[in-house]
């Protein structure tokens, strides 16, 4: 039985604990990011997930981001995607808007100037 087990998982016998365990560094790196362009479109499990605003730009969502795509200039306005906060329920009170999980609903106002996501 032991020979068959080792044949399926050969790394089991090769993995050894280090003699000196390194100290875990839990500090955040001094790096930031900026989203340049978002590729993708969420269409599964959602309906009414693409609209045109008053300027004839596409408004849609993908992952936790809201996107306004100007097809003539091939530019995007991207909403969300900031660093995730732990206290999610208090975001609106602090003026921090964004999603920490996938957007699954999108609604546009009748005059096509405002969008709500959920």
* pLDDT tens per residue, range 40-99: 887 887 888 899 999 999 999 998 889 999 999 999 998 887 655 544 454 455 555 677
Residue range 58-73, pLDDT digits in tens: 999 998 889 999 999 9
| Predicted local confidence at residue 5, as pLDDT | 53
Question: What's the CA gap between 84 and 81, in Å, rounded?
Answer: 8
Q: Among residues 49, 54, 88, which one has the least CA distance to residue 66? A: 49
Residue 117, strand partner residues: 106
| Predicted local confidence at residue 58, as pLDDT | 95
Tokens of 14: 């090769």
| Predicted local confidence at residue 1, as pLDDT | 52
Residue 59 buriedness (CB in 10 A; 0-12 / 13-18 / 19+): buried
Q: How confident is the model at residue 16 (pLDDT cuts 50, 70, 90)?
A: confident
pTM, 2 dp: 0.65
Is there a contact between 80 and 91 (Cβ–Cβ < 8 Å)? Answer: no
Tokens of 51: 């609209």
């Amino acid at each position: 039985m032991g020979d068959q087990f080792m044949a399926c998982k050969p790394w089991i016998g090769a993995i050894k604990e280090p003699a000196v365990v390194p100290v875990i560094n839990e500090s955040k790196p001094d790096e930031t990011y900026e989203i340049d362009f978002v590729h993708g479109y969420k269409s599964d499990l959602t309906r009414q997930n693409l609209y045109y605003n008053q300027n004839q730009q596409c408004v849609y969502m993908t992952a936790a981001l809201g996107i306004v795509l100007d097809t003539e200039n091939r530019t995007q306005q991207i909403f969300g995607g900031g660093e995730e906060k732990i206290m999610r329920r208090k975001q609106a009170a602090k003026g921090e808007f964004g999603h920490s999980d996938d957007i699954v609903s999108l609604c546009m106002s009748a005059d096509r100037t405002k969008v709500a996501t959920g």
